[in-house]
Amino acid sequence: MFWNLFNRLPKPFAEGLLPAQDGHSIYYYEYGNPTGIPILSFHGGPGGSSRAKYAKLFDLKKYRFIQYDQRGCGNSQADDIFYKNETKYLIQDAMHLLAYLHIDTPIIVHGVSWGSTMALLFAEAYPQTVKQIVISSVFLARPEDYGWTNGESERFYPDLWDEMRREYKHTDFFEAHNRLLFSKKEQDNLKALTYWATYEHKLGQLNPQFKTPSELDEEFLKSARIAFYYDRHQFFITDNQILRNIGKIKHIPTIIAHNRLDFCCTVKQAWELHKALPKSTLNICAGSGHSTPSLLKEVKKMIRHAEKQEK
C-alpha cells in the first residue's frame, strides 16, 4: 500500500551541524548513495523541519538526498531564532551546506509548499548550480497568495473566522494573535496554537474544528512563531519576486505537481509558474488537500517518467 511505502522511512547515512554562522548552527541529513546525483531538498513552513519521507520520492540507489533544517527550525540551533532569520540567509545556508559537503556539480532542487518557494528562489539565485527543479504544492509568496489564506479563505470558512474573532476579542485580529503567540503566559500561547496557528491546516477540510492542545508543545510554538514572523514580513522577498526573475531559470527542466482542490495554496500559482517556464511539466492532480500522499505518489511517477525520457 502507498501509505506503507512512505511510512517505511529511510535512515540517513550522515547527519550533523554546520559550523555556526550568525549565531545559527544548521542541522543537515543525507540519504541514499553518498556518490549519487545530489538533490537538495527544502522543507516546508516557514517554521517546519526536514522530513525523511521526501527522500522516498527518489531512487536512493541513484541519488544523494540532502535536507537541512532552516534557521530556528528542527534540530538547528540558535542563540536567537529570529536574528538574521530571513529568506536570503536561508539560501546562503544552502550554499554553505553544499560547500561543506564538497558538492560542486549541478544539483536537483526539491521542495513542497514553502519548500517550493525556497527551491525556486535558490535556483534563481544560483541558476548555474541547478540542473532540475522538482516541486509540488507551489507557493509563490505573493501578496495575493498569502492574502488568500489570511483573508479570502473566509468565504469558505466564515464559521471558523467568527469563532477566532470571538476568542481573540480584539478589533485587530492579527495583532491579537501576535500578542498571544509571543506572550510569556502559557494560556495565551495555547489559545494562539488552538486557533490561527492551526487554521491553515483546516483549509480543505469539510468539517474542521478547533481543538485546544492538552499541553503546550514547545516545538509547535517555535514553529508557529517563525511562520507568523515570516508572514508578517511578507516572507522577506519583494513583490512577485519569483515570476519577475523567472527568466533566470527558463532553461531548467522543472517538474510541478499540485492538487486541484488545494485550499492552502491555490492551484493558480502552479499554473502561472508552469506558463512562465517553457521546460516545465505540470500535473494538476484530481485531489483535495495540500501535500497529500496521493499527490506525492504522482510526483514520484513524474520523476520516474522524466528519468526514462532522459535515457
Instruction: Supply the residues annotated as catalytic.
Output: 113, 262, 290
What is the distance between the terminal CA atoms of the chain, rounded to a whole angstrom?
Answer: 29
Q: Other CB atoms closer than 10 Å to residue 35's CB: what's the count?
A: 7
CB 68 within 8 A of CB 21: no
CB 292 within 8 A of CB 266: no
Closest CA to 257 of 240, 280, 226, 279: 280
Backbone angles phi, psi at 251, to 5 degrees: -85, -5
Closest CA to 76 of 63, 64, 89, 58: 89
CB 60 within 8 A of CB 109: no
